[in-house]
Structure 1
């Protein structure tokens, strides 16, 4: 059985625990003085210890009593990969082959919300779009990590809806930062699945649905840049540290690619699903 570790709030208290068929095992109530958040668990290389402890415990809380938060609170870095599936490259219609290195940009933690929470459409633009992606969380830090060693540095997997305000990614001559960082336009979660071996990533199905309609559907084996390459490349120019979040690229089929475009609107429900990880679900609301 896959162990699922989530960050959440309950009655105003920040917490973390294991999500089971019976409910939520409140691990922070037992280990919080030792590891205040899942970030400290990862820094201590203690996910295995936490999972083993959870398997011996009964649920304390019903899942519907908690509010899911992004799994790693306050990560030092959230680095996102753009244009990482072949059909996505073709969407640009510029006649160019896939580039030799990944396109990257940074997102801030405040631009994400947790599973089951609303994505917020800001008043500045109606062009809220979805992008379903796989997340890897770094467990062992490093610089200039070799591709052959890259997966040894992964602690856990999660999912991301890398929500984007499309017209704001072209708000200036050369940047995407603004359109990628409106508060609570994206989500990460629902939980972390501890990483054990490459089969968890090598060829898994990644699908995004809007109101039950499949919009994105591809497999990680078709990624232009492998998870190993992404970690190798990023660690060339910046030191990766435990708890860093890497969002690894989305398949074709985002709303911007329809003719005419189909933007998310209040009431829409978006689900991002990947084999062995789970389903990340959010609705859409307007900012008030």
Structure 2
């Protein structure tokens, strides 16, 4: 049975953000039907109620054509956006610094304004030509917790989605010990296209994750190769900070980012980046120069 796919969207020509389910027949708008209980998709997540909301769609016959909507980022107001760096062994080898594999992950944060939705343009900032791509799998926390045991960690996931963790490379090197600047340029990254509810551990065990630029395969790896597993990441993060419903965790990117090619290949206006993963679909964004 196909997993339900939740989206946040606006109808073209309108400003109001809605949410619903998307399938081959179009978009089922749940916003009005469920407004009294869950006025937003964020509220559905906070109530750990994706399965209940999905059940309501069976009673809705009307569909909105996909070409009549604009995809928004799946969460309107994520609580925390925590990113894991260098989480695939081949990615670690790219750094060629003769250091042993790290015992703990590199971590940094992003802010909501740094991300845009599926089919929306990534903005290459005026301050740099070094906009790069990083395809990742993102976890949305549904059940809050602190010091979560690894054995229970996956049960705290509400849903999965995809991210292009767009990075302005020269700006991540402005200071010795942080990358915040280069990871947070306005709409330099993307999230989507939809949320797929978490089902069980088999859903995460061996996902193939790829990134293409203008149809050329650049990144290609599987989650079984991750240095720090999804459960380990959740347990580790929750050790020092409580995780809440709606928190977002970006879990790392494979080798093949443009910075590591010879010569480096930066994104430019007109490029199209597609991040794809088994069971999660394809996040597609073009690139434009920011005005």
TM-score, normalised to structure 2's length?
0.97
- 1:7-64 deviation digits (Å, cap 9, x = unpaired): 1112111100100111000011211232121111011121110111113322431111
> What SS does the aligned partner of 2:177 have?
coil
- Partner residue of 1:56? 59
TM-score, normalised to structure 1's length?
0.98
Q: Which region of structure 1 is more displaced relative to structure 2, 57-66 or 177-186?
A: 57-66
Distance 1:55 1:94 in 2: 55
- Partner residue of 1:191? 194
Distance 1:167 1:253 in 2: 17
- Where in structure 2 are the equivalents of 1:18-97 lying within 5 Å? 18-97=21-100
> What SS does the aligned partner of 1:55 have?
helix
State the Cα RMSD in Å.
0.8
- 1:191-228 deviation digits (Å, cap 9, x = unpaired): 00000101111001000000000000000000000000
Distance 2:240 2:224 in 1: 26
Is the aligned partner of 1:103 residue 2:121?
Answer: no
Distance 2:32 2:216 in 1: 40
- Partner residue of 2:278? 275
- Partner residue of 2:170? 167
Is the aligned partner of 1:151 residue 2:191?
Answer: no
Distance 1:196 1:55 in 2: 19
Distance 2:58 2:285 in 1: 28
> For 1:119, which of 99, 122, 125 is the aligned residue?
122
Distance 1:59 1:232 in 2: 42
Q: Which region of structure 1 is more displaced relative to structure 2, 167-176 or 31-40?
A: 31-40
- Partner residue of 1:244? 247
- Partner residue of 2:10? 9
- 1:156-176 deviation digits (Å, cap 9, x = unpaired): 000000000000000112210
> What SS does the aligned partner of 1:42 have?
helix
- Partner residue of 1:178? 181
Q: CA deviation at 1:65?
A: 1.1
Distance 1:37 1:286 in 2: 32
- Partner residue of 1:285? 288
- Partner residue of 2:235? 232
> For 2:142, which of 125, 139, 162 is the aligned residue?
139
Which sections of structure 2, spanning at least 5 residues, go unmatched? none
Which sections of structure 1, spanning at least 5 residues, go unmatched? none
Runs of 4 or more, structure 1, over 3 Å off, are: none
Distance 2:200 2:156 in 1: 11
Distance 2:81 2:92 in 1: 22
**Is the alpha carbon distance of 1:38 and 1:222 closer, same or farther for their aligned partners in structure 2, counting shifts above 3 Å?**
same
